[in-house]
Amino acid sequence: MMERLGVAEILTSISERLKQAKGINDIRLIAAEETKCKPDDLKDFHYKINGHDWKGTYIKKFHLSY
């Protein structure tokens, strides 16, 4: 039986993989793989604040408590 990773291990793995991400699609793929969520659970956002574009992805149904 495979042991579940703890919160620290999940965040460390995500952090290390994000360092190699080349764009938003890589970020989406990493988030989906590491959290084992469906693509429908991911949502992109884009805000323009004081002339700066903020883009990213968040996971709608994921929480780190197991």
pLDDT tens digits, 6-41: 888 888 998 999 999 998 888 888 888 888 888 788
Spatial CA neighbour of 59 closest among 20, 21, 14, 19: 14
Answer for the pair 59, 27: CB distance below 8 angstroms, yes or no: no
24: tokens are: 């938003």
Q: Which domain holds residue 30?
A: 7-59
User: What is the three-class DSSP state of 52?
Assistant: strand
63: tokens are: 């929480």
- pTM as predicted: 0.62
Q: How many domains, in total, are found in the chain?
A: 1
Note whether residue 66 is domain-resident: no
Note whether residue 2 is domain-resident: no
Note whether residue 42 is domain-resident: yes
Q: What b-and-e string marks burial along 20-36, b requiring 16 or more CB atoms within 10 Å of the CB?
A: eeeeeeebbebbbebbe
Note whether residue 1 is domain-resident: no
Note whether residue 65 is domain-resident: no
pLDDT score recorded for residue 63: 59
